[in-house]
Amino acid sequence: MLYLTNIGLEVHAQLQTASKIFCSCSTAFGAPPNTQVCEVCLGYPGALPVLNRTAVELAARAALVLGCTVHPVSLFARKHYFYPDLPKGYQITQHAQPLATDGTVTLTSPQGGRQIRVARVHMEEDAGKSLHDEGPFTGIDFNRSGVPLIEIVTAPDIDSAEAAAACFSRIRDLLVAVGVTDGNMEQGSLRCDANVSVRLSRDAPLGVKTETKNINSFRYVQRALQFEIDRQVDLLSSGRPVEQETRLWDSAAGRTVSMRGKEEAHDYRYLPEPDLQPLHVSAALLDGLRRTMPELPDETRARLIAAYGLPPYDAGVLTQSHALTRYFEAVASSSGNPKAASNWIMVEVLGRLNAAGDDITMIRVTPEALASLIRLVDSGTITGPTAKQLFERLFVEGGSPEAIVAAEGLGRVGDDVAIAALVQETLAANAKPVEQYRAGKKQTFGFLVGQVMKASGGKADPEKVAMHLRRALE
Ligand code: ZN
Ligand code: MN
């Protein structure tokens, strides 16, 4: 039987603030354990939380970019549960009246656009972190305790593991584009939990759902959810029920495993937070946020196509990150050749960076250097093969292409006497292909051109090489 899938995502994103949500402790990543803590984020009795204004602005910005209605008044609540990394015994979050509701995420695919509803966006604090590799003990690091988060909850509108991965990455791109979060999953600033259920028809009520947690890397979202879908379908197909529970993704084993029976909302004993005032977000604040909203990825893509005449494919690649777009625009405007800039970046730059596991912010080839490389080719000063060699060198050492070309005589060899001499040398060294060519095997011509180019170190003018070669052979 064919089952239909329903997936809803719960995305937690760390807001890019310097200090925590209810105290002035630093949020910097990587400090020694328990060096960024105080009475408030350690949950001392009587310590009072003070809401971070920047966190509210970032949360509201996220809600706007997800198309949500930001409510003029929202409330904080205490969500009770016991866990060693939660010293107060409750998490301050938003429950009955969240910051924002009713947004959409649009997924684009070759089959067309699809809308995933965003049920809500609320603010909350992060918990600490248990460290299980401290010998026979478990340590707790409270540096994360009180780090500001937003939780984004989608409706169960997603119908496949693949679409879930696309939705998650779309949410990340939007949040990163407007500067709400750095989107770094390795450092825990972006996390994705997913509610998965399956059912036999669109008219049937939603099936029993499980919540899959701990999907801590982008490449696992699709695999983890596909595993969970297949597991549920297997159970139901053999007449066994799906238990409502929380499951953990075990990336080493490539499967989800049962963690605990799922709590209902009433298990958390949500109560209004008495130490915080209702949160008021003014129309003036929202107007200000709308006015200063950075360009979104779709807008950037459209602008690159219109302003530089790039094919949509190029524009898609070049808008993978703000930094990459900035790099492209610098190379395009300084070289005066946007299509060449795009080609160099898509092929050589991204090829080399991906191989090295680096991103564009780490590149040693400055936009000015790549632009002058392109100008050197366009002006006929160097050949294409020389440009590729030069790029390799710039990638490793940095530096200025003009200076290297001048210092090492890499300029294109267009001198007829020199090329004719190279042709003669090449013919003498390749008696067999020459014989084949003269016997009518014309394909060997390309091979011989290649040999002359090689003998010149890639510097000979390829058109002149072909002309001299033809003359010598016939
Ligand atoms: Zn603190
Ligand atoms: Mn949460």
Asked if the model's pLDDT at residue 473 lies above 90, the reply is no
Return the pLDDT at 111: 59
Q: How far is the CA of 285 from the centre of ligand 2 (A)?
A: 25
Q: How far is the CA of 35 from the centre of ligand 1 (A)?
A: 10
Distance CA 425, CA 419 (A): 10
Q: Structure pTM? A: 0.72
Return the pLDDT at 110: 56
Question: Which is more confident, 333 or 361?
Answer: 333
- How many angstroms separate the first and last alpha carbons of the chain? 72
Give per-residue pLDDT as tens, 344-374.
999 999 999 988 888 888 899 999 999 999 9
Q: How far is the CA of 124 from the centre of ligand 2 (A)?
A: 7
Cβ–Cβ contacts within 10 Å for residue 149, how many? 27
pLDDT band at 265 (very low <50, low <70, confident <90, very high): low
Q: How far is the CA of 215 from the centre of ligand 1 (A)?
A: 28
CA distances from 106 to 114, 195, 220, 235, 366 (A): 6, 19, 22, 32, 35
Give per-residue pLDDT as tens, 392-410.
999 999 999 999 888 887 7
- Which helix H or strand E contains 104, and what residues bound it? strand 100-109
In the chain, the amino acid numbered 466 is: A
Asked if the model's pLDDT at residue 455 lies above 60, the reply is yes
Contact between residue 125 and residue 174 where contact means Cβ atoms under 8 Å apart: no
- Which ligand is in closest contact with the Cα of 20? 1
User: How large is the average pLDDT for residues 442-450?
Assistant: 89
Q: How far is the CA of 98 from the centre of ligand 1 (A)?
A: 24
- Which ligand is in closest contact with the Cα of 24? 1
Q: How far is the CA of 142 from the centre of ligand 1 (A)?
A: 9
**DSSP class per residue in 46-80:** T------HHHHHHHHHHHHHTTPEEPSEE--EEEE
Q: How far is the CA of 153 from the centre of ligand 1 (A)?
A: 27
- Sorted by where each starts, the structural domains of the chain and their CATH numbers stand as 4-286 (no CATH), 297-408 (no CATH), 416-473 (1.10.10.410)
The tokens of 242 are what? Answer: 């799906």
- Which ligand is in closest contact with the Cα of 268? 2
Q: How far is the CA of 49 from the centre of ligand 1 (A)?
A: 9
Burial of 254: CB neighbours in 10 Å, binned 0-12, 13-18, 19+:
exposed
Q: How far is the CA of 92 from the centre of ligand 2 (A)?
A: 10
Q: How far is the CA of 91 from the centre of ligand 2 (A)?
A: 9
- Which ligand is in closest contact with the Cα of 14? 2
Distance CA 146, CA 42 (A): 9
Give per-residue pLDDT as tens, 52-66.
999 999 999 999 999
Return the pLDDT at 454: 87
Q: How far is the CA of 154 from the centre of ligand 2 (A)?
A: 13
- Which ligand is in closest contact with the Cα of 147? 1
- Which ligand is in closest contact with the Cα of 34? 1
Give per-residue pLDDT as tens, 411-435.
777 777 888 888 988 998 998 999 8
Give per-residue pLDDT as tens, 184-235.
988 889 999 999 999 999 999 999 999 999 888 888 999 999 999 999 999 9
Cβ–Cβ contacts within 10 Å for residue 151, how many? 20
Burial of 68: CB neighbours in 10 Å, binned 0-12, 13-18, 19+:
buried
